[in-house]
Structures are given as C-alpha cells and as structure tokens.
Structure 1
Amino acid sequence: MDDALFHSNNNSFINISDKIGINDTLNFISETLELPCEEAYPSTILGATKSGISLFQLTLSYNKFLTQNIDSDKKELMKVLNKIFRNKLNIDIENAFLKTGTTNNNEERLAIIHHADTTYGFLRNENPKNDNSKEGNIFKHIKRAFYSMINPPKEYKWI
C-alpha cells in the first residue's frame, strides 16, 4: 500500500475500497469531504465528484484528517506521506506531508503539504507541451514557496 500511495497507483485504491466495501469507503469519503452521501459515486474514490472539489475544500479536508483523531493507522499513513515529502521535494523535515494529484487530461497539477497544524494547497494550471508526467515541474515552485514559509528572510526593512 505504501508503494501504491507513493506512485499514485489508482488500481490499488479501487481494489482496497472493494475489499473494505465500496459503501463504507464512500461514506468515509463523503464524511471527510463533507459531501452529501448521494453525491459520492464509485468514481469519488479517485477524486471525481458530481459538483467537483475545490482546492480549498480538499486542503481543509486534509487538514482535518491529519490533525484530528490520530490513531496508529493515521500514524502509518503519515510516515508514508512524510516519505513522499522527503523524496519528491528533497527536504528532510519531520512531520511534513505531501500528497499530489492531477486533474482531467493532466492539465492541472495539485499538491497538498501539511506541516505542524498548517496545510497548504498548491495548484499549477499549466501543462507544458509534451509533459505527460504526473508532477511536471510543480515541485520546483512548491519547494521555493515552502522554503520561504519555513525560512523567512532574517533581515526586514521597513520603508
């Protein structure tokens, strides 16, 4: 499962949802995203919803999930998400998490980063020509933004 999450292997998530039970999985997703149950379809397991999910809604859902009711299963998940953060951003920070995704036709790339009690959502609305990779160059922009948040300039000048 760790490897499937690291590589965003959607087939694994569908298979696991089937083993857990599709209805139980959809109820969990519906509760987590605060969607009406009737708007949760099997395609919701991979992120598709009837009315869509905003980046804000997704970021807020990750924040709630990663900060409330931490149990051993969530701790294991957090270890995997920290491994993804370290490997994909090449930044060694404890308790920092990363989950990436793409929208239809690989046109937009998104990343959710969580550190301490703060969760950030990044969206890149650009797909350079012939770039069919899942992440494209979004990490370069995220890394720059993340470093500026955790290491603000030490010299402040007031004008």
Structure 2
Amino acid sequence: MPTDIFVLSNYHSYKGGQNPNFDKSSSMLLDFKQGKYLAIEFWKALVVDKIRAITGEPFYIATVPSSTAGKSHPGFQALIPKLAQRLPIINKDYNLIKRKSTIDKLATGGNRSLSTHMSSLKVPHISVEKAPVILLDDVTTSGNSLKAAITLLSHARYNVIAAVILGKTVD
C-alpha cells in the first residue's frame, strides 16, 4: 500500500437527478470523466496543491484506467499535460497502467472485486530503480481498483509514494 491515500472530495452519485446530496464537486467529477474543460481546471488546482504537499521530487504518474481495454480516460488525458506544466512528472506522455481486458462499467453494476481488477490490469514496463509514483483515480467506491493498481505497480518495482483520489463514493 502507498504511504498515504488522499481523497480530495466526497462523491454523491447523481441517481437520475434524485440525490439531494449531489453537489458541485460531484458534478465536476462527472464532467471530468467526460474531459470537460471547466472540470479539468477545477481538479487541476486541487491535484497540484496536493501533490506539491507530497513531494517536490520528480515522479512518475499513473492513473487507474477506464474499464475499456485500450481506451484513454478523457479527464486524465487532458489533466496530465496540465499537471506536467506545473509538476516534475517524468512520464507525462503515457500511463504506467493499462487495461488489458475490458470489464463491465463499475458505475452500472460491474464486478468490483479485487481479482477482476488484478486480472484485467497490467503494468507493461518494469522499473529498474524503484521509481517513485503518484497514483491518481477519479472515483473510488470499494477501493479494489486502487488496491490492484498499487499491487501491480509494486510488483513491477515502482514505489507508490501516494494515491490521490478525486472523489470517494459516500452514498
């Protein structure tokens, strides 16, 4: 497990517009998933501040990938280059973690088990120097995709120094 896991906000699901707890950060998370500009800007400031508080040293960045094999996450695809303008990210042009097989979307009832994530994710490149990594995830519910990502990065000899999650599902 990483040294620290930081959750930047609570996520209240939309529930077809029927959730009275659905708030601005929850809305910004949904917009982030679609790669919308205002949401990218909203999360950029929060993520930069958190990572600067964690480390000032160069680091690799990894994101928990989309449920679809080979698909890039629109929000992270737009956010990472913006973070790289302000932070010493070593691998600003690629993600350390890949989805090797598609899984059912978690938001619509897909299997959230640790074994599902362990068998569908891969880290294609092994680190030779125990390189430091900051792991990013948009929303965590069970935490199993995060655990799988951390485990796989560790097995590939990366040192996950922290995980930063934009939102944790609370209802």
Give 1 or 2 for the bigger CA radius of gyration. 1
Task: Identify the structure with the greater helix proportion.
Answer: 1
Scaled by the length of structure 1, the TM-score of the pair is 0.30
Task: Identify the structure with the greater strand proportion.
Answer: 2
Scaled by the length of structure 2, the TM-score of the pair is 0.29
